[in-house]
Copies of this chain bind each other. A is one copy, B any other.
Amino acid sequence: MQLTEHASSLDELRERFQTVRNFSETLCEPLTPEDCVVQSMPDVSPTRWHLAHTSWFFETFVLARQPDYTPHHPEYEYLFNSYYNSVGKQFPRPQRGMLTRPGRDEVIEYRHSIDVAVSRLLEDLPEDMAGSVPAIIELGLHHEQQHQELILTDIKHVLSCNPLMPVYREGVTQLTPSRELEWIDFDGGIREIGHTGSGFAYDNESPRHEVLLRDFSLASRPVTAGDYLAFIEDDGYRRPELWLSMGWSALEQEQWTAPLYWFEKDGKWWEFTLAGPRPLNPAAPVCHVSYFEADAFARWANGRLPTETEWEVACATHGAADGHFVDGLLAADRPVHPAAAASDQPIAQMLGDVWEWTASPYVAYPGYRAAAGALGEYNGKFMCNQYVLRGGSCATHSTHIRPTYRNFFPPEARWQFSGFRLARDAE
Contacts and interface: CB of A to CB of B under 8 A. Distances in A.
Nearest to A304: B364
A13 interface: no
A291 B293 CA distance: 27
Contacts of A366: 214, 425
A197 B98 CA distance: 45
A101 B32 contact: yes
Contact of A385 (B36, B212, B246): B246
A33 interface: yes
Contact of A85 (B100, B162, B240): B240
Contacts of A104: 34
Given A245-B382, A385-B246, A101 B37 contact: no
A75 B164 CA distance: 7
B245 A381 contact: yes
A163 interface: yes
Contacts of A38: 37, 97-98, 100
A130 interface: no
A333 to B, nearest CB: 19
A35 B376 CA distance: 36
Interface string A359-371: 1110100110000
A102 interface: yes
Nearest to A425: B367
Interface in A209-241: 209-212, 214, 240-241
A161 B359 CA distance: 39
Contacts of A86: 241
A86 B241 CA distance: 7
Interface in A98-132: 98-104
A151 to B, nearest CB: 14
Nearest to A363: B361
A385 B382 contact: no
Nearest to A105: B32
A411 B34 CA distance: 33
A101 B164 contact: yes
Contact of A98 (B161, B211, B243): B161
14 contacts: A33-B34, A34-B104, A35-B101, A37-B37, A38-B98, A79-B163, A85-B248, A99-B162, A100-B162, A241-B376, A244-B383, A246-B385, A247-B384, A367-B425
Interface of A: 32-38, 40, 48, 75, 78-79, 83, 85-86, 91, 95, 97-104, 158-159, 161-164, 166, 190, 209-212, 214, 240-241, 243-248, 291-292, 359-361, 363, 366-367, 376-377, 381-385, 411, 425
